[in-house]
Every structure is written in C-alpha cells, then in structure tokens.
Structure 1
Amino acid sequence: MASRRRLFILLAILALVVGIDTLERPLANPDEGRYSEISREMAASGDWITPRLNGLKYFEKPPLQYWATAVSFSLFGENEYTARFYTAFCGLLTLFATWFTMRRLTNNETALLATGVLLSSPYFMALGVIVTLDMGLTCWLTVALAGFLYAQSDGTSEPTRRRAMGVAWAGMALAVLSKGLIGIVFPAAAIFLHCLLHRDWTLLKRLAWGRGIAIFLAIAAPWFVMVSRANPEFAHFFFVHEHFERFLTTQHRRVEPAWYFVPILFFGVLPWMFTLPSVAAASWLAERERRSFPWRRFALLWAGFIFLFFSASGSKLPAYLLPVFPMLALVIGDWLARTEPRRIALYLLPVVVVIVIGLAIGWGAPERAKSAWTRDLYGTARPFIVAGGLVISLGIAGAAWLLRKGERVVPLAIVVLATLVFVDCVEDGYEMLSPRQSGRDAAAVTRQWVDPSTRIYSVNYYDQTFPFYLKREVTLVNYVDEFALGQASEPRRSLPTVAAFVEDWKRPGSAVAIMQPGLLEEVLKPAGLAMILIHADERRVVVRKP
C-alpha cells in the first residue's frame, strides 16, 4: 500500500506540474476575460461589495471568485497565472475532498482509485485551468458533500457529527457565494430525494440545523445584505432574473436540446465512459439491504438531480455539468475496487476505438475552416491534438492489457498519466488558437498609442479579454448584451449609437477604437472618419485618431 500511495503522490505532483504549465495560456473569450477583468477592477477600485465589469455594475454572479482573484492580483500581480490560481486551487481541493470522503467511507485503496478516476477525467482536468465559476462551485459543493457523508457515516460520535455538518453548511454557504442559490438547492434536493425514496425522514434530525444555519448565514448573508443596501436594484436582478428567468426562459440565448449534456457526461470521463451504465446499476443495487447510510445511492441522486436540472434549463453551457464529476468519481472508484480487473478491461478497450475514430474524423477539420487565417491556426493546433489522442489511446490500451493480467492500481495510474498528457496537449493546441480567441495581441499593440487621457471605444462589439490586457475600461458603443443593468444605472458611461460615436470621435484629444472588421469597412470608412489602422485580424481591428 505504501508503494501505491507513493505512486499516486507522484501522479498528483505531475498533475500539478501539468496544471502550472497550462496556466500561462492567454486568457480566452468570453468567460476568462470577463471574470478576470471583474477581479482586476475590484482590486484597482478597492470596492469589494459591488462587482463591476468595464466600470459598470455587474450582478450576474456572487463575488467569492472575484474576491479570491483580486487578492491574488494584489499579492502577485495581474497575469494569466494569478487569474487562474483560484480555479486551480479549487480543483486541487476538490481532488483532496474526493480522496478524504472515500477514505472515510471505504478504505485508502478505494480512495486512491476514486481520486484517480477524477484525475483521469479530461473534462474535470481541463476546466481546472480555465477561468470559470464552475470549478469554485464544484469545489465547495464537494466539500459540503464530504462533511455531510462524514457526519452520516458509521461510528461518528455526536460531537464529531455536529462538526462535520458544520463543514457541510460552510461548504454550501461558499457554494452560494460562488454561483448563487444552486449552492444550497442541489444539496437540499439530494437530501429530499433520499428521504422520499428511502422513507428516511429521520435524516432531517441529523443535519445540525441550529448550528448549521448560523454558520451558513454568518458566511453567506453579509455580502448579500451589504450589496443590497448599496444597490437597490440588486435583489430583483440577482434573485429573479439570474435564477428563475435564467432557468425558465431562453432570454440568455444559450438554447440547446435536452440531450445536450449527454455527450459531455460520457466524454467527460473518457476512459470510463462505457462503465457508466454498469456503475450506476451496480452502485444502486449494492445498497438494497441498508445497514448504514447508502452513500452510493446518495451520490447518484446528487449527480442525477444536477444533470436533470441543467438538462431542463433554458440556459445551457458545457461547464455547467462540472459538479457531477466528483460524484461520478466516488461511485466509479468504488466500482473499480469491487470489480474483477479482467472485466474492467472489457470496458476500456472500446474507448480506444472511439478515440481513433474521433481523430480520423477530426483530422480534416482545419481544411474545412472558412478562412485561410483560421485554417492556419487549426493546422498549427492539429499536431498537439493528434499527439494527445495517440498518447491517451496507447495509455488506455496498455492499462487494459495490465488489467487482463489481474493488476488494478497500476493500470489506473497509467490511465491517469495518459490523461494528464492528453489534457496538456489539448491545452497546448488550444493555445495555438489564442490569436483568434484572445485580445491579448490587440491590446499589446494598442498600449503603444494610449495614455491616461486617451479615449477608448468598443464599437458594436466587446472583446472580454481586451480591457484586462489593456488595463483600462472602454466606452461601449451601441452594445448592450450583459451590460443592460449597468447601462441603465449609469447611462453616461456608454454611447447608444454609432452616430453618437462618430461625433464623439471628432472631439479633440487622442482616441482609439476596437471593432469587428466589417463595421470599419462598411460604415466608418465610407463615412470619411479619420482613422489609422494599428491592428487587424479576422476577429477584430483597432484604429486610432491621426
């Protein structure tokens, strides 16, 4: 067991090295630019209560990640590493919480297997180095689950149970501060479904309500009170618009079919994709005769509710499903520990076929791109993707071979290693697309023509990464989208029409503007507006006054 523990420690160190290697990639649109810029403005202004994006009030999400990243910026400077630090930290804490939970519920070997499953889930590992709010939400929900399951496990004394439930309530509070009310809705739904299906309403007596509510309110409530007092418009926008209207309507224009998350679920745990039906069935049936709290069923209820919740929602994005994956790691890891290795090998071999087919289909993707610029970018990314695909295919095939010989832990370690290399290759390939996905190059050129008095416009367009790299806010022109509330509160910070921009551009003083190429060619040049082009690519152009 000591040698196995050392093996997984080495893999954890490798995961950390891979993570650090991918943190330097240029920030991408839209999420990475948006959340990094909000944090930058918070650190610059010193206003830790009212989040602002491009100088405008922004109440779509709570501030926990903004706070953490703003502190990171203040201590270590503003760059890609510090922008991604909190996300990476939450990923590591999620891995630890997964190991800790399984070690309490089962044994150390099964805990290592479950942690290895999460490490070998490409979806989880990739999102651990991307600036979204979903890893923070996932982290604190997993901490809440760890505290809850510890409290309900056999042999837990009453004082320990209360302390563990205190951790669960604190995790839910931090989840709420990460992404809103789902931080408490998801755990509450799982508990309700458990009580309903198992007729175990006595569970409600073991939740340490008094102590728990006090902890929850002490952590979560102060910011909501302060931001509501400072901004009367906050409560309706956040609780009604960002929760009920986002779920029930399609106004956010993120409409996808009900099955949207099915391929994300299966390909997210790529090496284990074909085990999911068997894992779900075996985990549920394993607790038909309950002698202790049925944690496997509870994990499935937790994951199943989140999956169905987002599948039914009118707003869907790929990262929304992330909180499901630590739960899947628990039950898959437990299934691996209880399943004969030769049988596990049968589930891995078809994955190799799927990957090879995917590589064959994707090989011609660069040639199918519409523009030469995009074809060139995709072409530079292709070798990294292919190399990563080959490595994970060989790793899974090698693991299947060792499983057929009766090994268990070493094959998992090989799958983890292959997945880490695969994720690193994919991230390196994605970095090749950064001229298309990021405004870093445009901002670098623009900085040469900007001083504190320069007016900066963003016309009919907003590149989320541009203000972060420029270290300046821009004046929005004829652009609303997610800025509707902020512009309504402070209309003078924006220009409503391109005509208003044309007149403002003519004022004395230096000015630059960023826009999409079509606007420059079709509207502004024919209007005879004096402009000098200083940067151009197929996504954006930047001009300055002569």
Structure 2
Amino acid sequence: MPQPTSQQRASVASSQSTQGAVGWSAATGWVALFVAVALVVWFVSLDMRHLVGPDEGRYAEISREMFASGDWVTIRYNALKYFEKPPFHMWVTVVGYELFGLGEWQARLAVALSGLLGIGVSMMAARRWFGARAAAFTGLALLAAPMWSVAAHFNTLDMTLAGVMSCVLAFMLMGQHPDASVAARRGWMVACWAAMGVAILTKGLVGIALPGLVLVVYTMVTRDWGLWRRLHLALGVVVMLVITVPWFYLVSVRNPEFPNFFFIHEHWQRYTSNIHSRSGSVFYFLPLVIGGFLPWAGIFPKLWTAMRAPVEGTQARFRPALMAGIWAIAIFVFFSISRSKLPGYIVPVIPALGILAGVALDRLSPRSWGKQLIGMAIVAACGLLASPVVATLNANHIPNSFYRAYAVWVAVAFVVMLLGIAAARLLLRRGVLPSVAVYAMGMYLGFTVALLGHETVGRPASGADIAPQIAQKLTPEMPLYGVQMLDHTLPFYLRHPLTMVGQADELTFGATVEPQRVVPDVDSFTKLWKNGQPAMAVMSPDTYLALAPTLSMYVVARDWRRVVVANVASLAGPQ
C-alpha cells in the first residue's frame, strides 16, 4: 500500500486543525451566549420587583439614611440607633446609591454582586482542585439552585454574608493546594483572613465562628494538625483586626451602649434563647436545604460519595471535597441547634454544596444523568399540577386575590422548567455537560419567573403605589408618624423616616437610648396631632378605625395594609 506523502499528511493535519478550531469556536460561542443570557437575566430582574418587607425595605432605608446623613459609623433606622448588624452590607449599598442613585435595583446590587462573587470563587476553587469541567458544573449547580440565585435578588444581609463566606472557603481551598508556592499560599490565606474580617463586618462574629468551627471539625476528622501551621495565623489575625477594629472602635466610642447590645444581646442571647421569637425545630433547615438545592436533590447521595473520595492524581494530605462537605454539615448543625432560626441563616452552606455537586456531576455517567432528568421531570410535573393550591392561600394577612394571580406565575415557572428538562434530555446525546447546562438554564429561568411573579404579592404590600400620592403633600420637615406600626418599605419610597408612636417593634433599643426621638404612647401622639403643626401618620386599618371616632384624621392614601392620614384637611387626598 502506498504511503501518504508529506504533503498529504500536512493537508490532513491542517484539515483536522481547522475542524478543531471550528469546534472550539462554536463551543466558545455557545458558552458566551449562555453567560450573556444568565447575566442579563441576573441584573435586569433586579429592577422588576418592588421591595418587600421586612428585610428589603429595612436595609434599603438604613442605607438611604446613611447616604443622606453621611454618617457611616452610627447605623440608624428611622432616625433611631440600630445596632443589630454591622455596616458592610449598607456601605456597599450606599456606594451603589452614590454611583447610580436611589432605587430598587441599586438597593439589591450588593446581594446580586455577592451571588456572582460566590459563583465565581467557587468555580475558581473547583477548577484548581478538580479541573475545568468540574468548575463548569459547580457554576451551573449554583446558578440553578434557588437558595442561591433567588436569594441573590432579595436585599438581605444573609446573601451578602454567604457571598463573603464563599470567599473564605474558596481562598482556603486555593491556599492549601499542594502545588501552591509559599508566597501564593501566604497570599491566599491572607485573603481568606481578610474575607473573614469582611464577614464579621457583615453580620458579626459568625464571620469567624463558622470557619473556626469548620476547621476544628475538619482537623478532628482528618487528624491533619499541620493544617493549622499553614493558616498563617499571626499575619492573618493582624489583617482581620485591621479590617474590623476601626469600625468597632469608632462605633463604641461614639455609642457606649453598643458593645453590650451587640455582643451580648445580638449574639449570645439570640443564639441561646428565643428572645426574638424565631424558634423552630431541629429539622427547621432540612426542607429549606432540600428545596433550596432542589434541582440537584437527586444527586445528594453522590455528594456524600464525592465528599469522601480522595482527589485523583495528587498525594496531598488536604482533602478539599471533605472540607466542603464538613463546611456544609457543620454550619447546618450549628444553626439547627440554635434557638433563633430564619430561612436565610442557611444560605452559606450552598457554595460548599455547589462544589460537591460539581465534583459529582463531573463523574456522572450519561445513563445516571438521564435518570436524574426523569426524576426532576416528575417533580416539576407534580409542581405544575399542584400550582392551583397557591390560589387558595391566605397567609400573612395577604388577600387571597393576590395569591390567585401568583398561582399563574407558579404554573408558568414549572412549564419553563419542564421545557428545560426536555431540551436537556434531547442534548444528552451530545454529552452530559451540554445537557446539564441547558437543564441548569431551564431551572434558573423557571425560578426567576416564580421570583418575578411574586410582584403580584409584593407590590401591593410595598406601598409603592400610594407613595407618589403621599409624596405630593409630604415635606421634609413634616413629621411622619408610625402609629403602633413599623412600616418597613414605605419610608424608602417616600425618602422620609418614621417617628414611632407607642410600640417600637425592633426599634425598641433605639427608642430606649434616644427616647426624645419617639412618641411613647397614643395619648402623647394625640396632643402632638392637635398642636396645629401639619403632620402625617401611617397606621393599620384597625388602628385607624379605633382612633377615627376621637381624632380628626384626613385620609391621604390607603391600601389593604395601611392607611396614611393627615391632621390638616388640605393634605387629604381625593376621596
């Protein structure tokens, strides 16, 4: 048989190279399109809902008051001292206000960036230890997980904390890689300590307590005591203190009551008692984790396998998957035994689960992935069939008519998910990665539809619809009383804080240390209301009915949740 000439061999090689380049170019184009769609949806959806209470309105208004006053040390909410949380989240939000003005998407910018940061650093760590394919799966797992992608669109401190804590975990994993040079390890560990400092400035001592707990449990399980020598403790602690001490020092000097309230009341008493009436069973977070990581619930057993398996191709003593697994388990147990529970507390476990999911998906066969698709198709179909149940709800004193409208959005969300699953099934012939990518996008878009549909419930509760009518008559100098009602969203839309009357709710501490800034009871409010100075007041419909027989009040605006009244007839709205 005649042998191919050198010219023929060169022609074949050139053809193969051209085909490879075309294939690579096509793959790059699809990846770029995927990322572009995900980012557009991520940021555009920030401005498609009104703020909901309590958290979104609270932190938007705290940041607005910080923005207006220029005081970045003493945190105030409705002009009262508010020391339940440190200021980092509000600082980032104020920067957003400075750059882009006041608004709803600006108020959510901190959490949106935190969510993207968490995805990015988790992918970086997964790529370093497990390869580019596992990193891609990690990003897809987090994008599709509603506890991550949806939480990154609600203005809460929990998401900002989770984003920073994902940096703590990722930088730790980067710094412990066996191929890291001494300088690189020191740099990553300094970054890890710096992230812990930012976490402390975001939500207090959990920023160091949770990583510390994870490290202790990890070393007890692995007996890798040498890890502590690789943490650069002395330098790291100095970096962390440089980040945290200035604000804690300044706020304590300016407000001597701060240390006792913040460290004792808001940390020790909150964790060990039911002082805030936020109790729950020891299983409180279990359905939240399952639901929050629902698209990947079928591979939970494989996460356990991935956690226990050593890293292939390395003799490193450090076990990154085990560290991620212990991170998720230890934090889950820590909050499960706490006497104070809220859904957002558990968000920091999601990046660790995302890394484990990335490792598990990287090792998943097409046949196994096909079974997962069938299982999720059944779940989504059941969700679609059950969506009319939403139309029967009447929870949290919200009128049923709003839930009936939301039920349609829920149904559409499940349809989008089912379409994504069908497309993923068709693409499975091209490999697991393309199929998982389309599946993740379908889940992400489906949960985004459900998120946007929540506007049917959130908008009427926000007060945004009546705010323009009130703002026409409300002046900056005019008192705006909150009569036995702390409205978390209306002050932000009015750009005007409340003066609390009677029940101060979560502002009790601020009312206690600055009693001159509140009205102690309804009798005192009545005297102020009748003194001739124009004023407005916000109250519940029940309070309005109780006061109307004895107090002259002219309705400025009202909705199902609140009535806004004035003490001067000229301020009244159209009847």
TM-score range, shorter chain: over 0.9
Question: In 2, are the aligned partners of 1:11 and 1:416 still within 8 Å (CA)?
Answer: no
Letter in 2 for 1:530: S
In 2 relative to 1, CA 452–140 (structure 1 residues): closer, same or farther, beyond 3 Å? closer
Alignment partner of 2:39 out of 12, 16, 28: 16
Alignment partner of 1:248 out of 272, 278, 283: 272
Query: Does 1:490 find its partner at 2:514?
Result: yes
Larger radius of gyration: 2
Question: 1:508 is paired with a residue of what secondary structure?
Answer: coil
Identity of aligned residues (%): 36
Which digits, 9 at most, give the CA deviation of each residue in 1:34-81, with x for residues without a partner? Answer: 001111111111111110000000111110011111121122211012
Q: Give the structure 1 partner of residue 302 of structure 2.
A: 278
Deviation, structure 1 residue 286: 4.3
Deviation, structure 1 residue 165: 0.6
Q: Give the structure 1 partner of residue 564 of structure 2.
A: 542
Query: Does 1:47 find its partner at 2:71?
Result: yes
Deviation, structure 1 residue 442: 3.1
Deviation, structure 1 residue 334: 0.5
Question: 1:363 is paired with a residue of what secondary structure?
Answer: helix
Alignment partner of 1:530 out of 538, 552, 557: 552
Letter in 2 for 1:321: I
Q: Give the structure 2 partner of residue 68 of structure 1.
A: 92
In 2 relative to 1, CA 210–370 (structure 1 residues): closer, same or farther, beyond 3 Å? closer
Question: 1:441 is paired with a residue of what secondary structure?
Answer: coil
Query: Does 1:296 find its partner at 2:321?
Result: yes
Query: Which of 288-297 and 161-170 deviates more?
Result: 288-297
1:109-508 aligned within 5 A: 109-286=133-310, 291-292=315-316, 293-369=318-394, 374-400=399-425, 402-403=427-428, 405=429, 407-508=431-532
Deviation, structure 1 residue 143: 1.1
Letter in 1 for 2:559: D
**Matched residues in 2 for 1:194 and 1:337: separation?**
24
Question: 1:229 is paired with a residue of what secondary structure?
Answer: helix
**Matched residues in 1 for 2:107 and 2:369: separation?**
39
Q: Give the structure 1 partner of residue 12 of structure 2.
A: none
Q: Give the structure 2 partner of residue 36 of structure 1.
A: 60
Letter in 1 for 2:557: H
Question: In 2, are the aligned partners of 1:461 and 1:516 still within 8 Å (CA)?
Answer: yes
Query: Which of 312-321 and 292-301 deviates more?
Result: 312-321
Question: In 1, are the aligned partners of 2:80 and 2:511 still within 8 Å (CA)?
Answer: yes
In 2 relative to 1, CA 296–371 (structure 1 residues): closer, same or farther, beyond 3 Å? closer
Question: In 1, are the aligned partners of 2:138 and 2:355 still within 8 Å (CA)?
Answer: yes
Deviation, structure 1 residue 456: 1.1
Question: In 2, are the aligned partners of 1:366 and 1:374 still within 8 Å (CA)?
Answer: no
Which digits, 9 at most, give the CA deviation of each residue in 1:295-318, with x for residues without a partner? Answer: 111100001111111111111111
Which digits, 9 at most, give the CA deviation of each residue in 1:12-49, with x for residues without a partner? Answer: 22122112222111111110000011111111111111
Which digits, 9 at most, give the CA deviation of each residue in 1:221-241, with x for residues without a partner? Answer: 111111111111111111111
Letter in 2 for 1:446: I
Question: In 1, are the aligned partners of 2:369 and 2:432 still within 8 Å (CA)?
Answer: no
Deviation, structure 1 residue 511: 1.2
Deviation, structure 1 residue 464: 0.6
**Matched residues in 2 for 1:46 and 1:161: separation?**
39
In 2 relative to 1, CA 264–295 (structure 1 residues): closer, same or farther, beyond 3 Å? same
Calculate the TM-score normalised by the size of structure 1.
0.95
Letter in 1 for 2:400: R
**Matched residues in 2 for 1:382 and 1:221: separation?**
49
Structure 1, unmatched stretches of 5+, are none
Question: In 1, are the aligned partners of 2:306 and 2:359 still within 8 Å (CA)?
Answer: no
Letter in 2 for 1:107: G
**Matched residues in 2 for 1:6 and 1:252: separation?**
51
**Matched residues in 2 for 1:35 and 1:23: separation?**
15
Calculate the TM-score normalised by the size of structure 2.
0.91
Question: In 1, are the aligned partners of 2:52 and 2:489 still within 8 Å (CA)?
Answer: yes
Question: In 2, are the aligned partners of 1:453 and 1:510 still within 8 Å (CA)?
Answer: no
Question: 1:495 is paired with a residue of what secondary structure?
Answer: coil
Query: Which of 337-346 and 154-163 deviates more?
Result: 337-346
Question: In 1, are the aligned partners of 2:66 and 2:75 still within 8 Å (CA)?
Answer: yes
Question: In 2, are the aligned partners of 1:517 and 1:540 still within 8 Å (CA)?
Answer: yes
Q: Give the structure 2 partner of residue 57 of structure 1.
A: 81
**Matched residues in 2 for 1:154 and 1:453: separation?**
63
**Matched residues in 1 for 2:467 and 2:54: separation?**
16
Letter in 1 for 2:520: P
Q: Give the structure 2 partner of residue 97 of structure 1.
A: 121
Deviation, structure 1 residue 469: 0.9
Question: In 1, are the aligned partners of 2:328 and 2:352 still within 8 Å (CA)?
Answer: yes
